[in-house]
Amino acid sequence: MSRFSYFSSDEKKLSERLGSSCSRGGQTSYYSTAFPQNESLLPQQHPENYASKTSAPEQMKIVDAPKAAGSDNIAAQAFSFRELATATKNFRQECLIGEGGFGRVYKGKLEKTGQVVAVKQLDRNGLQGNMEFLVEVLMLSLLHHQNLVNLIGYCADGDQRLLVYEYMPLGSLEGHILDLTPDQKPLDWYARMKIALGAAKGLEYLHDKSNPPVIYRDLKSSNVLLDKELNVKLSDFGLAKLRPTGDKTHVMGTYGYCAPEYQRTGQLTVESDVYSFGVVLLELITGRRAIDTTRPNNEQNLVEWAQPVFKDPSRFPELADPVLNGEFTIRALNQAVAVAAMCLQEEAAVRPLISDVVIVLSFLGNGPDANMVASCYSDQNPTCDDEEDSRKEPQRSLELEIGASTLEVSVFGYSDEMMPKRWVFSEFDTEKLQQVEADNEKIRHGKLVSDSS
């Protein structure tokens, strides 16, 4: 039976389009042929051919793809196994920077260009098979965004399957909040909110701005990569799917991050990704793993442990990571917890759109809390304490609606003329948010004085 039997109808349509109709206007398709219809997705070569000077199997070569408007996308490069073995010093242990169910990741340096890269060598007996390999190459060739990892190339020599990415020097988020070494400095509150915002923006691109839209399906802290400036890049797209029309799929992903309705029914939607984002945001807030079997039984599942706290805003400080030492405002903490709680709603229909989440987190991830703090409340919950409000700057607030809940964002330093009193997400003008962000940057540098009258 073909391994593509569980492709969604959208994916089948895309495969046909890539194989035939993408040559409009003289442009060639992404692949030289349509998706294979047999068990062997990629052409096979004998091991003795590794030493050949050919770059990769000709049948699997990815060629230039049609560019989206305003895009500078470049097709993934085909590498030979020998080139990548040289780049990683023959896959030495000293170059190993990570491993998991899909295989191992090595740091390498391309001989021709000197570029430092991350090389993922897929385990031939691991979780990522030929189909997932093909999907990841396809997805990252189609998708280009500042918050998605860049795919530089691939290798499909013989039964070897390797992917070459840009190198992210700080590794994954998991290593900075969940696997801290004794001499490692923990991320402060602002850094965590910046990371949350970057991950949300990457997800927003996949859901709302990519063509075709994509459901990530495997958002987790180990797939959130960081550069030296703590900018986020989402990685590992082997499980991603073109946005379906309600089709059921094989349940795949990582336990602890999967939405409950997806686990029960196999129904995959964008709301499933929003739930996974809520888990990652909760990890950032608490410093706890999604699943931690070393903790007491009632604390092993992060979401189940946090759910009772979500119902009582006075208990929100219990969720804060102890290593933060209280270096955050209560208002900012409550805002972040409220967003996580909404993303983790049991009912998928009442979870916010990820674009809504981006708007709210923009107030937490674009500047230190000392210059901009946010308060929150739901229709059922009282407002937060005002103990941090002894400031000279005038306080202005605006209400943001997410379904049946309301968030009130209190911003210091803005006059009434700088922002509307009420923004509804479905009608939100992104230019207004950009103006607010620009004004906030001026405030931080003392370049904008608001009218206190």
Reported as a single tens digit per residue, the pLDDT across 229-266 is 999 999 887 656 666 545 555 566 688 899 999 888 88
Q: Which of 94-98, 138-142, 419-423 has the lowest mean pLDDT?
A: 419-423
Phi, psi of 372 (to 5 degrees): -155, 115
Can you tell me the distance from the alpha carbon of 18 to that of 435, in angstroms, rounded to the nearest whole number? 40
pTM for this predicted structure: 0.67
Residues noted as catalytic: 218
Cβ–Cβ contacts within 10 Å for residue 64, how many? Answer: 13
Examine the pLDDT at 167 and tell me if it is beyond 60: yes
> Of 365, 338, 355, 374, which Cα lies nearest the Cα of 424?
355
**Bigger pLDDT: 15 vs 446:** 446
Q: Would you state the pLDDT for residue 367?
A: 56
How do residues 343-364 score in pLDDT, each as one tens digit?
A: 999 999 999 999 999 999 998 8
Judge whether residue 273 has pLDDT over 70: yes
Distance (Å, rounded) from C-alpha 269 to C-alpha 9?
14
pLDDT of residue 254: 81
Identify the weakest region by mean pLDDT among 91-95, 366-370, 400-404.
400-404
Q: Residue 417 — very low, low, confident or very high, per pLDDT cuts 50/70/90? A: very low
pLDDT > 90: percent of the chain: 43
Give the pLDDT band (50/70/90) at residue 171: very high
More confident residue, 290 or 239: 290
> What pLDDT, on a 0 to 100 scale, did the predictor assign at position 378?
33
- CB within 8 Å of 433: residues ≥ 6 apart: 359, 362
Mean pLDDT is highest, among 50-54, 132-136, 274-278, for 274-278
| Bigger pLDDT: 443 vs 393 | 443
What percent of the chain is modeled with pLDDT above 70? 59
Report, as an integer, the average pLDDT of 175-192: 90
Cβ atoms 28, 63 nearer than 8 A: yes
**For residue 213, what pLDDT is reported?**
86
The predicted structure's pLDDT at residue 103: 80
- Tokens for 91, please give them: 């896959």
For 25, other C-beta atoms within 10 Å of its C-beta total 6
Token duo for residue 81: 């196994």
Distance CA(200)–CA(194), nearest Å, equals 10
Please check if 120 is assigned to a binding site.
Answer: yes
Residue linked to tokens 């701005």 = 209
Q: Tokens 């929150």 belong to which residue?
A: 376
Beta-strand (E) ranges in 151-285? 151-155, 162-166, 214-215, 224-226, 232-234, 241-242
Domains of the chain, first to last = 3-166 (3.30.200.20), 174-444 (1.10.510.10)
Chain CA centroid to CA 7, Å: 23
354 and 273 in contact (C-beta within 8 Å)? Answer: yes
Enter the DSSP assignment of 35.
P
Choose from 239-243, 285-289, 372-376, 432-436 the range with maximum mean pLDDT.
285-289
Average pLDDT over the chain, rounded to an integer: 71
Q: Is the pLDDT of residue 390 over 70?
A: no
DSSP code of 350? Answer: G
The conformation of residue 397, written as its DSSP 8-state character, comes to E
**Gap between the Cα atoms of 176 and 441, Å rounded:** 27
Where are the alpha helices (H) located in 269-424, listed in sequence order? 270-286, 302-310, 330-343, 354-365
Task: Confirm if 336 and 317 have CB atoms less than 8 A apart.
Answer: no
Higher model confidence: residue 255 or residue 287? 287
